[in-house]
Amino acid sequence: MRPPLADVLDLAPHPEGGWYRQTWVSPETVALPDGRMRPTATLIYFLLPAGESSAWHRVKSDEIWLAHSGTVIVQLGGSGAAPADELTTVVVDAEQPQGLVPAGVWQRTVPAAEDALVSCLVSPGFDFADFELA
Protein backbone atom coordinates (compact mmCIF):
# COMPACT_ATOMS: atom_id res chain seq x y z
CA MET A 1 0.00 0.00 0.00
CA ARG A 2 1.35 3.43 -0.97
CA PRO A 3 2.02 5.60 2.11
CA PRO A 4 0.29 9.02 2.22
CA LEU A 5 3.62 10.89 2.06
CA ALA A 6 4.53 8.93 -1.08
CA ASP A 7 1.34 10.34 -2.64
CA VAL A 8 2.16 13.90 -1.54
CA LEU A 9 5.75 13.71 -2.89
CA ASP A 10 4.82 11.59 -5.95
CA LEU A 11 7.19 8.76 -4.94
CA ALA A 12 7.44 5.40 -6.73
CA PRO A 13 8.46 2.01 -5.31
CA HIS A 14 12.24 1.52 -5.28
CA PRO A 15 13.64 -1.90 -6.36
CA GLU A 16 15.61 -2.14 -3.07
CA GLY A 17 12.52 -1.31 -0.96
CA GLY A 18 11.03 1.98 0.18
CA TRP A 19 9.81 4.79 -2.08
CA TYR A 20 11.73 7.37 -4.13
CA ARG A 21 11.73 10.13 -6.71
CA GLN A 22 14.69 11.78 -8.37
CA THR A 23 14.49 15.52 -7.65
CA TRP A 24 17.68 16.85 -9.27
CA VAL A 25 20.33 15.90 -11.82
CA SER A 26 23.46 18.00 -12.21
CA PRO A 27 23.75 19.53 -15.69
CA GLU A 28 27.53 18.91 -15.52
CA THR A 29 28.91 15.51 -16.51
CA VAL A 30 32.02 13.53 -15.69
CA ALA A 31 33.71 10.64 -17.52
CA LEU A 32 33.96 7.44 -15.48
CA PRO A 33 37.19 5.37 -15.63
CA ASP A 34 35.49 3.04 -18.16
CA GLY A 35 34.61 5.99 -20.41
CA ARG A 36 30.89 6.18 -19.61
CA MET A 37 29.49 9.62 -18.85
CA ARG A 38 27.49 10.44 -15.71
CA PRO A 39 26.09 13.61 -14.21
CA THR A 40 28.45 14.85 -11.49
CA ALA A 41 25.65 14.26 -8.95
CA THR A 42 21.98 13.29 -8.55
CA LEU A 43 19.52 13.73 -5.68
CA ILE A 44 16.45 11.74 -4.62
CA TYR A 45 13.84 11.68 -1.90
CA PHE A 46 13.76 8.28 -0.18
CA LEU A 47 10.88 7.32 2.11
CA LEU A 48 11.19 4.27 4.34
CA PRO A 49 7.88 3.51 6.06
CA ALA A 50 7.91 2.29 9.67
CA GLY A 51 8.81 -1.38 10.01
CA GLU A 52 10.19 -1.68 6.45
CA SER A 53 13.76 -2.30 5.34
CA SER A 54 15.70 -2.35 2.11
CA ALA A 55 17.48 -5.27 0.47
CA TRP A 56 21.26 -5.61 0.46
CA HIS A 57 22.58 -3.59 -2.46
CA ARG A 58 25.49 -1.43 -3.55
CA VAL A 59 26.24 1.28 -6.10
CA LYS A 60 29.48 2.39 -7.70
CA SER A 61 29.26 5.96 -6.35
CA ASP A 62 29.47 7.64 -2.96
CA GLU A 63 26.12 8.39 -1.31
CA ILE A 64 25.41 11.14 1.21
CA TRP A 65 22.17 10.58 3.15
CA LEU A 66 20.46 13.74 4.46
CA ALA A 67 17.77 13.54 7.17
CA HIS A 68 14.38 15.26 6.88
CA SER A 69 12.25 13.32 9.39
CA GLY A 70 12.47 10.10 11.37
CA THR A 71 15.53 7.87 11.60
CA VAL A 72 17.19 5.71 8.97
CA ILE A 73 19.65 3.08 10.17
CA VAL A 74 21.96 1.91 7.38
CA GLN A 75 24.02 -1.25 7.87
CA LEU A 76 27.25 -1.43 5.87
CA GLY A 77 28.54 -4.86 4.88
CA GLY A 78 31.94 -4.16 3.33
CA SER A 79 32.97 -4.24 -0.31
CA GLY A 80 33.57 -7.97 -0.88
CA ALA A 81 31.72 -10.23 -3.31
CA ALA A 82 28.80 -10.44 -0.84
CA PRO A 83 27.80 -8.55 2.32
CA ALA A 84 30.14 -9.37 5.21
CA ASP A 85 28.99 -10.84 8.53
CA GLU A 86 30.70 -8.03 10.46
CA LEU A 87 28.65 -4.86 9.98
CA THR A 88 29.06 -1.19 10.72
CA THR A 89 26.12 1.16 11.15
CA VAL A 90 25.34 4.67 9.94
CA VAL A 91 22.43 6.46 11.66
CA VAL A 92 20.80 9.38 9.83
CA ASP A 93 18.40 11.46 11.94
CA ALA A 94 17.95 14.92 13.49
CA GLU A 95 21.03 14.46 15.71
CA GLN A 96 23.21 13.05 12.90
CA PRO A 97 21.63 14.64 9.80
CA GLN A 98 24.24 13.43 7.30
CA GLY A 99 25.68 9.97 6.69
CA LEU A 100 28.16 8.61 4.14
CA VAL A 101 27.89 5.29 2.31
CA PRO A 102 31.15 4.89 0.36
CA ALA A 103 31.13 3.72 -3.26
CA GLY A 104 31.02 -0.06 -3.72
CA VAL A 105 30.00 -0.85 -0.12
CA TRP A 106 27.09 -3.21 0.52
CA GLN A 107 24.25 -1.51 2.37
CA ARG A 108 20.76 -2.08 3.64
CA THR A 109 18.38 -0.17 5.84
CA VAL A 110 16.79 -1.78 8.88
CA PRO A 111 13.26 -1.19 10.21
CA ALA A 112 12.56 1.72 12.52
CA ALA A 113 9.52 2.53 14.65
CA GLU A 114 8.50 5.54 12.55
CA ASP A 115 8.46 6.62 8.92
CA ALA A 116 11.71 8.20 7.77
CA LEU A 117 12.23 10.66 4.92
CA VAL A 118 15.75 11.36 3.69
CA SER A 119 17.39 12.72 0.60
CA CYS A 120 20.25 10.82 -0.98
CA LEU A 121 22.93 12.69 -2.94
CA VAL A 122 24.96 10.39 -5.21
CA SER A 123 28.24 11.39 -6.85
CA PRO A 124 29.04 10.61 -9.61
CA GLY A 125 25.33 10.58 -10.39
CA PHE A 126 23.21 7.49 -9.87
CA ASP A 127 22.41 5.14 -12.75
CA PHE A 128 20.66 1.78 -12.39
CA ALA A 129 23.46 0.32 -14.56
CA ASP A 130 25.68 0.76 -11.48
CA PHE A 131 23.14 -0.71 -9.00
CA GLU A 132 23.60 -4.28 -7.73
CA LEU A 133 21.27 -6.31 -5.48
CA ALA A 134 22.88 -9.04 -3.37
**Per-residue model confidence as pLDDT tens digits over 19-40:** 999 999 999 999 999 999 999 9
pLDDT interval class at 3 (50, 70, 90) = very high
Q: What digits encode the pLDDT tens for the residues 86-97? A: 999 999 999 999
Residue extents of the structural domains in the chain: 4-126
Chain-centre distance for alpha carbon 20: 9
pLDDT, residue 1, reads 85
Q: pTM higher than 0.85 for the full model?
A: yes
| Mean per-residue pLDDT, 67-84 | 97
pLDDT interval class at 121 (50, 70, 90) = very high
Residue 26 CB partners (closer than 8 Å, separation 6+): 39, 40, 41, 42, 125
CA angle 134, 45, 111 (to 5 degrees): 55
Q: What is the CATH code of the structural domain delimited by 4-126?
A: 2.60.120.10
Is there a contact between 75 and 87 (Cβ–Cβ < 8 Å)?
Answer: yes
CA nearest neighbour of 36 among 131, 127, 134, 109: 127
Q: Is the pLDDT of residue 43 over 90?
A: yes
